[in-house]
Structure 1
Amino acid sequence: MTPDLRPANPVETLVYKTLVWTWPFYFVGALYVVGPVLAWTLGAIAVLSLYLGPAIRSDLRATGTIPPVVWAWLIGMAAMLVVLWLGHLDWSLGTKQTIKSSIGWAKGWALLALFPLAGAVLPIRRDILVRGQCVVALWTLVLAPLLLVAPYIGLPEKIFTSPLKAIGGPGPEYFSVYLFTYDPATWTPRWQFYAPWSPFAALLGVVMVVFALEEKNRNWKAIGIAAGVFMILASKSRMGLVGLVACTTVPRLMPLLLRGWAWQAGAALTASMAVIGPMVMQSMADGVKAFKGARADSTRVRETLQRIAYERWKGEAVWFGHGTVQPGPHIVEFMPIGSHHTWYALLFVKGVAGFAALLVPMVWQTWLVMYDATRGPRGRLPMAIVMTLILLSFGENMEIEAYMLWPALMILGRHAREMSDDRLGVPAAKGS
């Protein structure tokens, strides 16, 4: 870390050290435990800072009140817990299952509110989070040779499963340490790094790239971009490739919405579609078909899961859902109904109420980052993060992966704080 960039207070130290120790935590199977513990610790410090005000030590004082969009996340995720209770009551799932699911909420959905709260309230600079991600990238590049040669020199896929799995979680893969895995469709190796599976690792690679693009030190920037791209390619995830292109370019094109010549070029392009439109549409259709065909079995399972979840939600539990995921049939390889897609899963598990509890803050946050990205560079990283979260939501269950997305969620809170300060006329903090 360069002399001009080092943690300036206890919470920055806690956040930075937790982030740069990502790989060591993974090697002992502790990441799924570290994320929620960090979230509730930072959330408690944030509440304490707001409550004590000037009575707390100066380097822990709240940077301001809670921004409106962060309030939306807090209310929405609290509503998730209430909806969970109503769904369990409706389906008579019992006290034991309700307690277990409530603990699951505390390790999942709650994190989507606690980390933005911490980022908005506590004095944690954006630059510290960006540098921390680049240090994780350095770990990744150092370990890359071992990971790449592992399947070819006879090393095992899984090293071990941590005893921490006794704490409970979505599955043993969250506590297991892997060097690589084999793709069941092609029986070729693919890598998942410190994520529970490869597609999620690819999106963590996208997050690493968009963070690295904000790094001011050229060497650290190069390290972050190289590691992020490596994670995306080695995971062999289609979603990661889409995210790499879209999340790095679209936020940087947003200022064009305020340029007259861009609108004129857009109008000319629209007019030309009358001539080339059919050819473009056919090319796009062929591209989508090839994209899905690249992993046809995976696409089939996901689409079938989504269809079953939607039909059962509509026919059985419209308002508060089924309360929990349920075992799937053989046609979806026994994967749980209510998995592999945040929005269909919400309808199935928590119904319309749960769907709305996520949709409202997500739409609000999306509008906020898009608006700021059109005005200047500050909004690029938050918009790239929101785009990654949206992409993630269409292929994964967002809440069970929030424990790995906490630096990104804190950036969203920090950004909400910055925009709130703009409205109040508060000068921006150095390195924020």
Structure 2
Amino acid sequence: METGKITVSLAEERIVWGVLIYTYPIYLLGTTYVVGSLLGWLVFAVFMLRWFVDGKRTYSTTPIISHVWTVSMIGMLIVLWIGHADWNLGLGKTIKSSIGWMKGWALIPLFIWLGAVTEIKKEVIIRGACVVGYHSAIFGLVTFVIYLTGFSGELYLSPLKAVGGPGDSFFDVSLYGMNPETGGGRWSFFTPWAPAAGLFACLLLLICVQEEDESWRIKGIIGCAVMCLLCQSRAGWAVFLFLVPFIMAKRFVSEPWFFIVVGVAIPLVLSVGLPLIEYVLNSYEEVKASRPASTRVRQTLANIALQRWQAEAWFFGHGVVEPGPITVEGMPIGSHHTWYGLLFVKGFIGLLCLAIPLFLSVVALAVRSIVDKSAYLSLGMLIVLIGYSFFENLEILTNLIWPALFMIGASLNPRKSVTTQ
């Protein structure tokens, strides 16, 4: 099948291409969470079937970092079992949590491995991302007009909620939501909540800028900007603005003077660090004051998670999230923050299971960036994920961020990268 200049031929490519270009129909049918959770395992099964039938693999080796991710996430599962055993949570909860691991943490190494090893072309993911961005711009424009008419935006709660998931928001189908603090419209697009749309917009931007076709590249970038603007996420706006100069610097990353400038700039920044930090903190306090209720809930959840982790379950955590008190509006302890969530649910060992492969991946992509500009942009995706890990729980969003994970995996394999001339 020809799609412009993009050839979509393999079964694995057809699957990921179809999921990308039909993102909004999938969402309006209420199947986003289910499709996203099954996608990686389906592509993995098709690839393994092809390997079995053909009797050979395209790539003789898999990047070491991919193995580190796999081992670390298996370690996350073992820590989960230990936590359940320590707190006598029972076989039923252990099985349920293990299935949750398959739909969350396990998808991270799976998509990275698929990106590194399969024959799915990066161009297919890139063009598909531009299509998602283009459709997002149309969706945002149409629904904004509907919003002006006074329609509530709520459609329905998908019956697929019965299969289980992190919460109703993953199965809630709506055109847009309402900001309870301002009373205005706030768009989450096809994501479970508005800040997640900001995260996806930032990741999508780093993929769309790699599109070679100028028309599709512009459509994709405009869609990313629309998503980030309408989601009204404070973190999304900040990260999106940071990515603009980051992307512009891509053309210089292979130049020796680039690292000289960075080497000179770092001491200069450090020398004026105190006033800069004070300025950033003052700005941050002003932003927090604009949405005090949200900030208060997040901070209280963080404090409770840290206190209970230190006092009750330092090494292996509590095994599961727990409902919070009325002071946090019943929000689960361990939500809204990847690292606090890991400490509370899986303890310090669980935190290491994520921190180690993340750190090694950043180092590996930083080295690859010298000769491969796509690796530089994948490094940017990792930086975005790390930044957002302090605002979101990445585990429950892996069914959405998989295109970025795929691109990161492809960049980690030198045999799938394009060397900068």
Give the whole-Å Cα distance in 2 for the aligned partners of 1:345 and 1:269: 32
Alignment partner of 2:329 out of 333, 336, 339: 333
Give the whole-Å Cα distance in 2 for the aligned partners of 1:219 and 1:73: 36
Structure 2: which amino acid aligns with 1:42? V
Structure 2: which amino acid aligns with 1:169? G
Any residues of structure 2 matched to 1:267-416 within 5 Å, and which? 267=264, 270=267, 279-416=275-412
Q: 1:370-408: CA deviations, max 9, x gaps?
A: 222243422232112111211221111111000001111
Q: Which residue is 1:6 aligned to?
A: 7
Structure 2: which amino acid aligns with 1:24? P
Alignment partner of 2:260 out of 263, 267, 278: 263
Any residues of structure 2 matched to 1:11-410 within 5 Å, and which? 11-49=12-50, 52=52, 54-55=54-55, 61-250=57-246, 253=249, 255=252, 259-260=256-257, 263=260, 267=264, 270=267, 279-410=275-406
Helix, strand or coil at the partner of 1:375: coil
Q: 1:144-192: CA deviations, max 9, x gaps?
A: 2321123331323320011111100011111111111111111111110
Asked whether the equivalents of residues 252 and 373 of structure 1 are also in contact (C-alpha less than 8 Å), the reply is: no
Give the whole-Å Cα distance in 1 for the aligned partners of 2:357 and 2:247: 20
Structure 1: which amino acid aligns with 2:214? R
Shift of 1:414: 1.1
Helix, strand or coil at the partner of 2:127: helix
Asked whether the equivalents of residues 15 and 43 of structure 2 are also in contact (C-alpha less than 8 Å), the reply is: no
Asked whether the equivalents of residues 208 and 221 of structure 2 are also in contact (C-alpha less than 8 Å), the reply is: yes
Closer, same or farther: CA 229–76 of 1 in aligned 2, 3 Å = same
Helix, strand or coil at the partner of 1:159: strand
Asked whether the equivalents of residues 204 and 404 of structure 2 are also in contact (C-alpha less than 8 Å), the reply is: no
Q: 1:352-374: CA deviations, max 9, x gaps?
A: 11111111111111111222224
Instruction: Provide the alpha-carbon RMSD of the alignment.
Output: 2.4
Helix, strand or coil at the partner of 1:177: strand
Give the whole-Å Cα distance in 2 for the aligned partners of 1:262 and 1:121: 31
Helix, strand or coil at the partner of 1:404: coil
Give the whole-Å Cα distance in 1 for the aligned partners of 2:266 and 2:351: 37
Structure 2: which amino acid aligns with 1:81? L
What is the aligned length?
417
Asked whether the equivalents of residues 136 and 223 of structure 2 are also in contact (C-alpha less than 8 Å), the reply is: yes
- For structure 1, which runs of at least 5 residues remain unmatched after alignment? 422-426
Asked whether the equivalents of residues 309 and 347 of structure 2 are also in contact (C-alpha less than 8 Å), the reply is: yes
Q: 1:101-159: CA deviations, max 9, x gaps?
A: 11111111111111111111110111110000111122222222321123331323320
Shift of 1:330: 1.6
Identity of aligned residues (%): 36
Give the whole-Å Cα distance in 1 for the aligned partners of 2:323 and 2:363: 36
TM-score (norm 1): 0.90
Closer, same or farther: CA 8–352 of 1 in aligned 2, 3 Å = same
- For structure 2, which runs of at least 5 residues remain unmatched after alignment? none
Asked whether the equivalents of residues 209 and 217 of structure 2 are also in contact (C-alpha less than 8 Å), the reply is: yes
Helix, strand or coil at the partner of 2:322: coil
Q: 1:319-360: CA deviations, max 9, x gaps?
A: 110000001112212111000000110000001111111111
Give the whole-Å Cα distance in 1 for the aligned partners of 2:261 and 2:137: 44
Give the whole-Å Cα distance in 1 for the aligned partners of 2:197 and 2:230: 9
Asked whether the equivalents of residues 411 and 417 of structure 2 are also in contact (C-alpha less than 8 Å), the reply is: no
Asked whether the equivalents of residues 143 and 175 of structure 2 are also in contact (C-alpha less than 8 Å), the reply is: yes
Helix, strand or coil at the partner of 1:215: coil
Closer, same or farther: CA 64–48 of 1 in aligned 2, 3 Å = farther
Give the whole-Å Cα distance in 2 for the aligned partners of 1:165 and 1:261: 50
Closer, same or farther: CA 327–261 of 1 in aligned 2, 3 Å = closer
Asked whether the equivalents of residues 257 and 263 of structure 1 are also in contact (C-alpha less than 8 Å), the reply is: no
Asked whether the equivalents of residues 147 and 179 of structure 1 are also in contact (C-alpha less than 8 Å), the reply is: yes
